[in-house]
Structure 1
């Protein structure tokens, strides 16, 4: 079965150069190409870089250290961890799983970007490219799903370990296909990739991933805050949103004072206008949102029309930063400025 998706695929062309070809990889010079995702890399970012490099050539890399869930997936799938790259200045770069300048590793020159494969909205501060670039953005649950579709459409057979890691990317971003961002394409390719990877029980694999992500007892509040963290620019304001997805939310909720201290220090150090942190309870499908001052409190009140209880704002049925938390905060910030 081949799916024929509706998606946004833009080729931005300039005189005298050819766009990176996402359909005919043999047309591309990939000798100096790396594929990378956003800062604070998550499992979708890491695994999307791996499959993109396999399909198109080049090398998968990460801009920062990977998190425990991603490490579990790579070990489970018997895949090599992409190297952490500090200096991208001499590289051609393909971006996966993001398009925002605020999430770009500082040494990446926008003039070096040749392609973007992403599933996020083009928000307030996207990368600004004057050169030829090819962009594939679709409203699916993960960038890994988009790349799995590209592999299928080009009749590229994935090795077992890449089918496995790509499945991990899909399950991570869709909370094992339970998040509101999950689409029919995510479910379809999850089934296909599981078959190719020899994984009989998707739910069991996903549960192991959630367990790996949940064990944060040995991690400092400051590190948890930025482990799955993104910067945004809304209405000219610098906004940070961190998320910790866990099956054992109570362990983190009991550490509220630690998170408040870490957030105060981080907000001041980064010069943020607003900072929010969610302990997302994946077992009970709810977000527990935290902020630290009156400016952020006003945004949260407008965004969610609710008041905190015991220091946390409990949002039932909210699990997605991409689809639920981020858009609500963006709308509130824009309405207040």
Structure 2
């Protein structure tokens, strides 16, 4: 038996040899994802205690014991987190309230995305008086200065908000960035394609995609590392090799991913 002493020099507990030989497994709560391919490295060696998410189910998540699993079709996982604060009667600090509001604003394009629900609107209104700034002014500034194309390297743009998926043994990734207009994209299109190809090669993917969403026009451009036969059936204009104009498409989860999934399934059948 070994005593465990805290930073204050006081006894905090005891440790046994068995704790060293067979250390306890890390414990995780998966937030904003439920697929193991999107989790931290080593997740297979951890115990998942809870899932809080708003995406599709996938990835073969299993648990030895029943866990709390919250997965709702809302626009942002921050909506679910903030609702837990509200329902528990806990007042978040101003900085934390603004952090959760920022997540909702970003994920729902300030409630303009088709993923937006009544729950998102209700929770954002609950957060509004708890934030230290006016959310309307904040949202405008948020999208203006949050340009990945202005501040990041091509590799950084591709990796900033990137999710990997598997459909019919086809492995692919979809990254998304939000911009106010496409001017910067046209300036950096070629180097972004190079970064997409490099990412797909490094991670052994069949293809990688980058969705560039204009929060002003509520439309997107879709850039691909390479075009598979599946893309022959896409019903959107091809404006350049590996580049498509997706009018009124702003959501990776609700609009683009179902489209890509359908294209892959059609090509495989």
Which interval holds the TM-score relative to the shorter structure? 0.7 to 0.9
2:83 is the alignment partner of 1:149: yes
Give SS of 2:42's match.
coil
Q: How many angstroms apart in 2 are the aligned matches of 1:177 and 1:90?
A: 40
What residue in structure 2 maps to residue 113 of structure 1? Answer: 48
**Which of 58, 64, 80 matches 1:130?**
64
How far apart are 1:130 and its partner, in Å?
Answer: 3.0
What residue in structure 2 maps to residue 101 of structure 1? Answer: 36
Aligned residues: 244
What residue in structure 2 maps to residue 19 of structure 1? Answer: none
Q: How many angstroms apart in 1 are the aligned matches of 2:181 and 2:105?
A: 19
What residue in structure 2 maps to residue 190 of structure 1? Answer: 124
Q: How many angstroms apart in 2 are the aligned matches of 1:126 and 1:256?
A: 36
- TM-score where L is the length of structure 2: 0.85
How far apart are 1:180 and its partner, in Å?
Answer: 0.6
How far apart are 1:215 and its partner, in Å?
Answer: 5.1
**Which of 304, 318, 325 matches 2:249?**
318
What residue in structure 2 maps to residue 46 of structure 1? Answer: none
Q: How many angstroms apart in 1 are the aligned matches of 2:235 and 2:101?
A: 36
Give SS of 1:276's match.
strand
Structure 1 unaligned regions, length at least 5: 1-88
Indicate the structure (1 or 2) with the bigger Cα radius of gyration: 2
Q: Deviations over 1:179-215 (max 9, x none)?
A: 110111111111110111243x322111121123215
Give SS of 2:52's match.
strand
What residue in structure 2 maps to residue 165 of structure 1? Answer: 99
Q: Bigger CA drift: 184-193 or 247-256?
A: 247-256
Q: How many angstroms apart in 1 are the aligned matches of 2:247 and 2:128?
A: 31
Higher relative contact order (CA 8 A, sep 6+): 1
Aligned-residue CA RMSD in angstroms?
1.8
Maintained 8 Å contact 1:144/1:166: yes
How far apart are 1:176 and its partner, in Å?
Answer: 0.9
Structure 2 unaligned regions, length at least 5: 1-23
